[in-house]
Structure 1
Amino acid sequence: MSDSTKQIIRHLHGISTMQEIAEKAGLMPNIRAVQAWQCKRLLTSHQHMYQQKRFKPAVEFFINELYGPNDFSQRDQDIARIIPKMSRFLPESALQSLASALHLNTLSFELDFDLAKELVGTEVNRDTYATAYVNCNNHATRQQQIDYIRTLGTDLADVVKMKGISSLLFISRKPAKVAGVLALHEFLEKGFKSFKNIGNVNDFITPVINKEHQIMQQLINPNLPNPLPDV
C-alpha cells in the first residue's frame, strides 16, 4: 500500500471520528452554520478571483467541495470502499492529490468544530466569528490550513498535466455509476475541470494564500480592525 493510500485512509478515519463526536455532541447544526457563513465570506474576500473566467471554477471547487456545508459522507464512503482497488491502477500523483484534498477537508472540519463550540447559541456574523476565531487559539493549525491550499493546488495542477487523464475520467464515469462510486468520480472530475484551464497555478494560489494570511494576521492582532466582510 502506497504512502498516499495510507494517508487517504487515515484522513477518512479522522473526519469520520470527528463527525461522530460532533453528532453526539449536537454540534453539527452549528458546524454547518459556520461552514455556510465561511463560504459566503470566502466568496466575498476572493470576489476579484471569482469574477475571472480562468479562476472561477477553481474558486467554486475549493468553496463547494472542501469548505461548504455539504454532506460529504457518501463521497467519503465511496473512497473508503474502493481505495484499495484504486491504488492499483491510479497513478501516484492522482492518489496524492486525493490525499491532499482529504487532508485539507479534515483539517478544515477540525477548525470548524472548534469554532462551532465557541459559537453555540450565537448567530454567526463577522463580529462573533472574529471573537471565536481568536478564542480558539489554534493559529498554527490555521497556518497549516492555508499552507495546504498551496499543496492541493500544486497537486491538482500536476494531475491535469497527466497524459490521458481527461479521457480516463470520461470513460470511467459510467462504470463508476454502476459500481456505486459516482460521488467519488464527480469529486475527481470537478477537481480536474476546475484546474484544467487555469494555466500557471500560482497565478491563482498565491493571491488566495496571501489574502487568507493577511486576514489571519489581522484577526489575531487586537490592535487591528476586524478584516472580515459583512456577509
Structure 2
Amino acid sequence: MYRERLVSTSVHSDSARRLQQTLLDYHDFRQHKAAHPLLDHTFLIADWQAERLKSTHKDLYRHPGYHTGLEFLLTDLYAPAGMTRRDDNIDRVFPKMVKWLPDHLLDTFAGLVELNLITQQLDLELVELCHKHGLAPASLSADDYCRLFRRSQRLEHRERQITLVADVGRQLDRYVRNRTLGWLLTISRTPAEMADLSDLHSFLRRGYSAFRKMEDVERLIDRLVAREEKVLDNILKGHPEPFELPGDL
C-alpha cells in the first residue's frame, strides 16, 4: 500500500538504507504471502512452532521474571496474523523515522523487521514442503517437522534468525532501561491515536513494558540462543529426540 513512499524517501545513512531495503523486502513478501493459496496453513505452522518454543523453554516461559517478555516475543514479534495495519503504518511513517530517529534505533528497527520477514519466509517454505509431501500442518508430528526442516533451502536463514533474536533482544533491553522512552510513549499516545497509529503505538508500548519487567535479559538471551543452536544442530544431525536438551542449557 505504501511501497511508493518507501521507494521515494531519500536516505542518507547506511542504517536508513538498511531499514528502507528491509521494509521493501518485507512489503513485497507480505503481498506475495497474502495471495498465496496456502496462506491459512502458515498460521498453523506458526502456532506449531510457537508451542514448540514454549515447550523447549517452559522453565523460562513459566518464570515470573521472563514470562511477559517471552509472551510478547511469541504473540507480537512472532505473530504474522493480524499485524497488517501495524506493518502498513511502519511503511507509512518511514519518512519521519529516517528524519527524526538516530541510526542506532533505525538499525534496531531494521533487525526487528528482518527477524519478522525471515520467520515468515521460513514458515511459508515449511507450508510448501508440507503440501509437496502430502502432510497436514494441523497434525504435523515432530518427526515430520524435522524431516521437512532438513529439506529446507534456507538453512542459513535459520542461523540468521537466531543471531537476530540475540542482537535485537540486547538492543531493546538497552533502550528500555532509559526511563525517558517510557515517558515519551506515555505522552505520545493521544497524538498516535489522532494520526491513526494506535496499533503501532500499542505494539511499542507492549514491547517496552514487557522488557522493563524482565530480569537479567542478557542471561535469558544467552540461554535462548544456546538452546536454539542445540535444537538446530540436533535436527540437522537427525537426533531421535531433537527437542530434548541437556539440563545445563
TM-score, length-normalised on structure 1? 0.90
Q: Which residue of 1 aligns with 2:95?
A: 84
Q: Which residue of 2 aligns with 1:225?
A: 240
Is the alpha carbon distance of 1:157 and 1:213 closer, same or farther for their aligned partners in structure 2, counting shifts above 3 Å?
same
Query: C-alpha distance in 1, partners of 2:83/2:30?
Result: 11
Say whether the 8 Å CA contact 1:36–1:69 is kept in structure 2. no
Query: Offset of 1:218 from its aligned partner?
Result: 0.6
Say whether the 8 Å CA contact 2:69–2:213 is kept in structure 1. no
1:215 aligns with 2:226: no
Q: Which residue of 1 aligns with 2:75?
A: 64
Is the alpha carbon distance of 1:179 and 1:16 closer, same or farther for their aligned partners in structure 2, counting shifts above 3 Å?
same
What is the aligned-residue identity percentage?
26
When Rg is computed on C-alpha atoms for both structures, the one with the higher figure is 2
Query: Offset of 1:62 from its aligned partner?
Result: 1.3
Q: Which residue of 2 aligns with 1:135?
A: 151
CA offsets per residue over residues 129-185 of structure 1, 9 Å max, x none?
A: 111111114322111111111011011012113351110001111111110111211
C-alpha RMSD of matched pairs (Å): 1.9
Is the alpha carbon distance of 1:53 and 1:25 closer, same or farther for their aligned partners in structure 2, counting shifts above 3 Å?
same
1:122 aligns with 2:130: no
Correspondence 1:4-43 to 2 at 5 A: 4-43=15-54
Is the alpha carbon distance of 1:4 and 1:65 closer, same or farther for their aligned partners in structure 2, counting shifts above 3 Å?
farther
TM-score, length-normalised on structure 2? 0.84
1:203 aligns with 2:219: yes
Say whether the 8 Å CA contact 1:9–1:80 is kept in structure 2. no
| More divergent stretch after superposition (17-26 vs 70-79) | 17-26
Q: Which residue of 2 aligns with 1:95?
A: 106
- 1:227 alignment partner AA: P
Query: C-alpha distance in 2, partners of 1:104/1:149?
Result: 7
Q: 2:61 aligned to 39, 47, 50, which one?
A: 50
Query: C-alpha distance in 2, partners of 1:228/1:219?
Result: 8
Say whether the 8 Å CA contact 1:57–1:194 is kept in structure 2. yes
- 1:123 alignment partner AA: A
Query: Offset of 1:86 from its aligned partner?
Result: 2.9
Query: C-alpha distance in 2, partners of 1:71/1:3?
Result: 31
